[in-house]
């Protein structure tokens, strides 16, 4: 069995198409198809079932996938061992919810890359769960700890969220002295049917009805609040970037959530990713503490 054919097999399994795999490998789809056919002939089994939706793994393909991923991990680990433990190098892609991606990761990763000039980092900020088995990212940050899958999970940091609004909005609208008063105010929040994780369902239970200003993006929500659109839940670590905002009823409503770093189990032997994950964890913890500390002296407005 040729390792290069296994590498092509992995690319097709992750992209679920010959063209997608070819783009990732810089090969034309016909060559990718021939490599897959050669591997299937060598193994005496069909590895993919073609359908209008793309290439899906057969039962035999699923069995081969686990071995191919371990082989890939061993190859990467061997290369890292030979290269030694100098600075981190190469490209690492990290997926994250956009609150973390916008208000924490840029400064944390900038410092890591400054200490490791040979490192390239890509941030994929998407409001959904990432598929690490398909290598959409090398690692992902989530707000819920996954309970299934061949994953390695590490706690990154605990963070806090509060109701907030702009000073201008609060000056122009009825005072908010209790949670019941929110019924008289416009809320800013997530689009209800696009909440991809239960930990993001902040407004349920407030009894406030509809959300007139809704977006699947934390950044859009924050900018609506800055523009005086209404009242919404804001990450404490995002507050320093929006000086127009103040916390509302912090004694009555305070939410606590956790960021988790999620990696594929087979990556545990990759020293480069282990070192990057530790630097990332330390950086995020420090940054959350620093930014949240900047919001504590604020006094809630009536």
List per-residue pLDDT tens for the chain, 302 residues long: 677 888 888 888 888 899 888 888 889 989 999 989 989 888 889 999 988 888 888 989 888 887 887 777 666 666 555 554 556 788 899 999 989 999 999 999 999 999 999 999 999 987 555 565 566 788 999 998 887 777 889 999 999 999 999 999 999 999 999 999 998 899 999 988 888 788 888 887 676 567 889 998 999 999 999 999 999 999 999 999 999 999 999 999 999 999 999 988 777 767 888 889 999 999 999 999 999 998 865 544 44
Tokens in use for 15? Answer: 């992209």
CATH 3.40.190.10 domain extents, the chain: 90-157+258-292, 159-255
DSSP, res 237: G
Q: Any idea which fold 159-255 has?
A: D-Maltodextrin-Binding Protein; domain 2 (3.40.190)
Residue 98 phi, psi (nearest 5)? -70, -20
- Distance, CA of 191 to CA of 202 (rounded, Å): 11
Which class would CATH give 90-157+258-292?
alpha beta
Give the H or E element holding residue 122: strand 119-125
- Distance, CA of 143 to CA of 121 (rounded, Å): 21
What is the pTM for the complete model shown? Answer: 0.70
CB 164 within 8 A of CB 234: yes
Long-range contacts formed by 228-231: CB under 8 A, 24+ apart = 228/165, 228/166, 228/168, 228/169, 228/172, 229/169, 229/186, 229/188, 230/165, 230/169, 230/185, 230/186, 230/187, 230/188, 231/163, 231/164, 231/165, 231/169, 231/176, 231/182, 231/185, 231/186, 231/187, 231/188
DSSP reduced 3-state for 144? coil
- Distance, CA of 17 to CA of 13 (rounded, Å): 8
CATH 1.10.10.10 domain extents, the chain: 3-83
- Distance, CA of 93 to CA of 109 (rounded, Å): 11
Cα 144–Cα 147–Cα 148 angle in degrees, nearest 5: 130
- Architecture of the 3-83 domain: Orthogonal Bundle (1.10)
């Amino acid at each position: 069995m040729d390792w290069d054919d296994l590498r092509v097999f992995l690319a097709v399994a992750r992209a679920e198409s010959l063209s997608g795999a070819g783009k990732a490998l810089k090969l034309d789809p016909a060559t990718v198809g021939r490599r897959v056919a050669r591997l299937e002939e060598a193994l005496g089994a069909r590895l993919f079932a073609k359908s209008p939706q793309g290439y899906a793994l057969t039962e035999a393909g699923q069995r081969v996938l686990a071995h191919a991923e371990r082989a890939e991990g061993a190859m990467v680990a061997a290369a890292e061992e030979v290269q030694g433990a100098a600075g981190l190098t190469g490209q690492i892609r990290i997926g994250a919810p956009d609150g973390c991606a916008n208000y924490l990761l840029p400064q944390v990763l900038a410092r890591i890359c400054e200490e490791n000039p040979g490192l390239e980092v890509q941030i994929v900020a998407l409001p959904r769960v990432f598929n690490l088995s398909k290598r959409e990212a090398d690692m992902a940050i989530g707000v819920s700890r996954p309970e299934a899958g061949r994953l390695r999970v590490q706690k990154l940091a605990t963070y806090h969220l509060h109701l907030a609004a702009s000073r201008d909005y609060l000056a122009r609208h009825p005072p908010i002295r209790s949670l019941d008063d929110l019924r008289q105010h416009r809320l800013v929040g997530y689009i209800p049917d696009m909440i991809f994780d239960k930990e993001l369902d902040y407004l349920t239970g407030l009894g406030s009805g509809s959300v007139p200003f809704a977006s699947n993006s934390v950044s859009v929500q924050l900018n609506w609040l800055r523009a005086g659109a209404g009242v919404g839940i804001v990450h404490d670590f995002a507050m320093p970037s929006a000086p127009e905002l103040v916390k509302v009823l912090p004694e009555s409503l305070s939410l606590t959530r956790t960021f988790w770093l999620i990696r594929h189990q087979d990556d545990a032997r990759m020293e480069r990713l282990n070192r990057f994950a530790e630097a990332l964890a330390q950086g995020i913890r420090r940054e959350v503490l620093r930014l949240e500390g900047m919001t504590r002296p604020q006094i809630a407005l009536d």
